[in-house]
Chain A
Amino acid sequence: MDISQYLEIFIEESQEHLQSLNQSLLGLESNPDNVKLLNEIFRVAHTIKGMAGTMGFTTIMSLTHEMENVLDSLRNGEVKVNSHMIDILFECLDYLETSIDSISNSGKEPETGINHLKDKLKSLSKENVSDKESKESNKGEASQKDNYIEDFLFNQYDEELTRKALSEGMKVYKIKIVLAKGCMLKSARAFIVFKTLEEYSEIFKSSPKVEDIEDEKFDREFKLAVVASVDKNVVKKDIESISEIEEVIIEEVIYINEGAKDVEEITVTHIDNEELTAKTDYYHDLSVKKAKIGKTVRVDINRLDNLMNLVSELIIIKTRLEGIEIESGDLNMTEAVEYLERITTSLHDAVMKVRMVPIERVFNRFPRMVRDLSKELGKEITLTMTGEETELDRTVIDEIGDPLIHLIRNSIDHGIESKGERVKNNKSVDGRLFLKAYQDGNSVVIEVEDDGKGISTDKIKNKIIDTGFATKAEADELNNNEIINFLFKPGFSTSASISDLSGRGVGLDVVKTKIESLGGNVEVESVIDCGSKFIIRLPLTLAIIQALLVNLGTEKYAIPLNSIKEITSIKAENIKNVQGQEVLLYRENVLPIIRLANILDVKNYNEQQEYITLVVVKKGEKNSGLVVDNLIGQHEIVIKSLGKYLGNIKAIAGATILGDGQVALIIDTNSII
């Protein structure tokens, strides 16, 4: 089988699984008794093991196998979750991540460095062995049995069948068969097992499914349920006589019928009820998770771009059809075109949405990072994240991770003080780190805020003078904000002694460059002893926003809806002139009036109107009334840049393509007010 075509899928799925493993591990650390989480972790490790096995990545397989062993003993309650164990599991996770990265880069998995991890894992599961050695001796087989029963439950139909067989004096066995390592013809071996069993028994269930076994879609083990008349030792012996079989475990199933009750309780040897509930939870969890994973598909972004452009073309041709339709006056045609219009509009919307990704995708790696860093530095840090659902264009999402990591590291490393220092300054022992994302006008804002010691402008000022960025006289002229912004200067931040200063600055120029290359900007706000806040503002290049479309003369413009406070109609005569500025007394406030048509040099504009439509927009605390001709309506629009050639034009935030293929400019209300 040529597996190369599955490599990409393998890599992507593994990455997804590792991400979920990461989250579950974090969850488990703070919630060690959560069986669901444990089962989820086990399931993920198992899936990765299976996938890696299929792809022939044996190192990953063996590591995940060891992880499974540890998790299994956790599940059986033989060991308790402790922080040391989580650390090692995280280490394994990191190793797996590196392996997957290396596979995606070179197609090969690294083979070194795994042994010490395996040893560590082994020592973890050994701890429990020595702990429970006495139990282990008589439970040796049992733990394995638990293992296989765990994954092999009967459904109602099977139960019915089992009960019937039992009542007829037959025996029901669950059999787990493990093929030898390196078994070449797995399906053939399985076939022989089937044949052997069928001589004196009936196979009524298998895991994986028979079809999958025939297609070799299993790792090394498979499980069967049979109804037989012979003793289990006979069955065991027969199967073991087949070559390339490593292990056979057989278990007899006995049902207790609860009489009048409709619900049957199943008792399987060596399993108590508590474990049974854990199992059902596990299965429940499994189905929920599965559904979630099934919903995502990874697509190359270029294909989306292409799709988007095709849709735009479709819209243009639709508009042409509309023109023809009006000329022809054919009713059938009208109907067809209307239908086409509905479809293209929905298609347009759908394609636009596809490109957007919630920022969660970047954020969800931070809890782990903060945890690691705080452990490393011996600080207690509470991370609070909000606005993970804020959507950003996929391309921006891919780029924004590194700068954010930088800022978070800085905050933890240099911003937040040590425990002792915090107590001395009357602060809570745990440092607070806030990560906020929200949409603001035409940009998405991401804030990284800490309640640490803040940035000392005096120290930076000295540094500025020392490094010769400015003379003392010049430096004295600078205000605090300007001084802080020196941190972003290249060279300034890379100087070795900067971290001895108030911290901050390591690689900040890199952060700034990156964000500016995405068309955004960074600002810092800082109050000594209270903390600092880094504010990243990213443009919504290609982001979708809600906008109000308006007419100015014959032209159409879009005003972002979230900057609009209200829309109102006023009498022209109510506008007063104060020192050359038109204002309106509105709701007991003076509202400056801005004639958009003047600002945008719109020709053929009818100024003489009795009633004026006013769109009241806000910028921070300030409001202004924009005079427009007509309101067209609210639309969801995609912001596109005007391109490099036109660069930044005051008052214009970008352009958008309307449903009919026309271009409308988007008004940047912030720069107008």
Chain B
Amino acid sequence: MDGKGIMKQFVVFKLDDEEYGIDILQVKTIEKMSEITRVPKTSSYVKGVINLRGEIVPIIDLKEKFNLGESALTENTRIIIVYADETIVGLIVDSATEVIDIDSELIEEPPESIGNIESGNVYGIGKLEERIVILLDVQKILNI
């Protein structure tokens, strides 16, 4: 890579076939799907809470939140535990594939609208040779 900026690491995951990334500094762990306890009176994309080693963590279906339909659970389904300030949330994703380095020079401002995702949730677009990764802003996603 020929970047001159600061290298940033992102956890890359998939929703359907699109690739998304979250700053690794905001990711606590990546978990396999576990039993979710439903919480009533919440938005439909809030799937409930799980017990993460003694901590109660709310779980959001990211696809549903982005209006991409409800996640179908498969072998590859993962929960990415992210945090911002004191809020901690688990995001259901179709699969978490890898961690990549992206040169901050290669991150572009998000366009006005990216499909169904409100552009407010997007922090930038990372370009990596042939790949395009939509980088999400955890803070914004957690701001209800």
Contacts and interface: CB of A to CB of B under 8 A. Distances in A.
A313 B88 CA distance: 19
Interface stretch (B12-20, B32-40, B92-100, B111-119): B32-40
Interface string B80-97: 000000111100000000
A310 B41 CA distance: 31
Contacts of B57: 643
Contact of B56 (A316, A600, A640, A647): A640
Interface string B39-57: 1111000101111011111
B54 A313 contact: yes
Nearest to A601: B40
Contact of A312 (B41, B51, B142): B51
Contacts of B54: 308-313, 657
B58 interface: yes
Interface in A614-646: 640-646
Interface in B50-85: 50-51, 53-58
A3 interface: no
Interface stretch (A158-166, A231-239, A648-656): A648-656
B144 to A, nearest CB: 7
A657 B51 contact: yes
A384 interface: no
Given A602-B40, A645-B89, 6 more contacts: A600-B40, A601-B41, A642-B58, A645-B87, A645-B142, A657-B51
Closest 6 CB pairs of A and B: A312-B54, A309-B54, A663-B37, A600-B40, A644-B87, A601-B40
B53 A642 contact: no
Interface in A264-292: none
Contacts of B42: 646, 649
Interface of B: 35, 37-42, 46, 48-51, 53-58, 86-89, 142, 144
A490 B89 CA distance: 34
A663 B48 CA distance: 10
B37 A649 contact: no
A665 B54 CA distance: 14
Contact of B40 (A641, A651, A663): A651
Nearest to A638: B54
A607 B64 CA distance: 30
Given A312-B54, A663-B51, A663-B56, A650 B41 contact: yes
A642 B41 contact: no
A662 B50 CA distance: 8
**Interface centre among B46, B58, B88, by most A CB within 10 Å?**
B58
21 contacts: A309-B53, A312-B51, A312-B54, A313-B53, A555-B37, A555-B38, A640-B56, A642-B49, A643-B88, A646-B49, A646-B58, A649-B40, A652-B39, A652-B40, A652-B41, A657-B56, A662-B37, A663-B37, A663-B48, A663-B50, A663-B51
Interface string A27-70: 00000000000000000000000000000000000000000000
A349 to B, nearest CB: 14
B90 to A, nearest CB: 10
A316 B51 CA distance: 10
A664 interface: yes
A645 B48 CA distance: 11
Contacts of A600: 40-41
Nearest to B43: A646
Interface in A120-161: none
Contacts of A645: 58, 87-89, 142, 144
Contacts of B35: 662
A311 B53 CA distance: 9
A664 B50 CA distance: 10
B67 to A, nearest CB: 19
B56 A655 contact: yes
A44 B58 CA distance: 51
Contacts of A312: 51, 53-54
A661 interface: yes
Contact of A655 (B37, B53, B144): B37
Contacts of A316: 51
A337 B142 CA distance: 41
A308 B54 CA distance: 7
Nearest to A661: B51
A641 B39 CA distance: 13
Contacts of A661: 51
A357 to B, nearest CB: 20
**Interface centre among A599, A643, A649, A662, by most B CB within 10 Å?**
A643
B51 A642 contact: no
Contacts of A641: 56
A665 B86 CA distance: 21
B49 A655 contact: yes
Interface in A148-193: none
B35 to A, nearest CB: 7
Contacts of B58: 642-643, 645-646
**Interface centre among B53, B89, B144, by most A CB within 10 Å?**
B53
Contacts of A599: 40
A643 B49 CA distance: 10
A551 B27 CA distance: 35
B45 to A, nearest CB: 12
A601 B48 CA distance: 13
A602 B39 CA distance: 10
B41 to A, nearest CB: 5
Contacts of B40: 599-602, 649, 651-652, 665
A643 B39 contact: no
Contact of B39 (A308, A313, A644, A646): A646
Contacts of A657: 51, 54, 56
